[in-house]
Amino acid sequence: MALRQLLTRLLFRSIDTERLVHQLSESSPIQRAARLTLMLFQRGKTAIEDLKESPLVKDIKEDAYRAERIRKSMVREVKTDLKDLKDIIKLKPFKGYKK
């Protein structure tokens, strides 16, 4: 009995909630807010598309690509230097500490 009442109340609440959401969506303040949100979204999207095509962004991308190439070459040089250093250490006999 209690379970049936609980389910009935939940069902009616969901119907009321759906009706409330529908009524709110048709109200003018909510519609104005939705139009404003859409307008801001479209302006932002247009601004981002314009920025992608600007020469400044292209220059930044090229500089980032050059910087990445320089970083990779430096890492490669450090690795080879470390390998050479390890080889030198292996060839040199260790005499120990003198007391």
Range with the poorest average pLDDT among 4-8, 30-34, 55-59, 86-90: 4-8
Predicted model pTM = 0.42
Count the helices and strands in the chain (H runs, E runs).
3, 0
Mean pLDDT of 8-12: 70
The DSSP string of 78-96 is: HHHHHHHHHHHHHHSPP--
Task: Give the 3-state secondary structure of residue 70.
Answer: helix
Burial 65-76 (b: 16+ CB within 10 A, else e): eeeeeeeeeeee
User: Domain spans of the chain?
Assistant: 19-53, 55-91
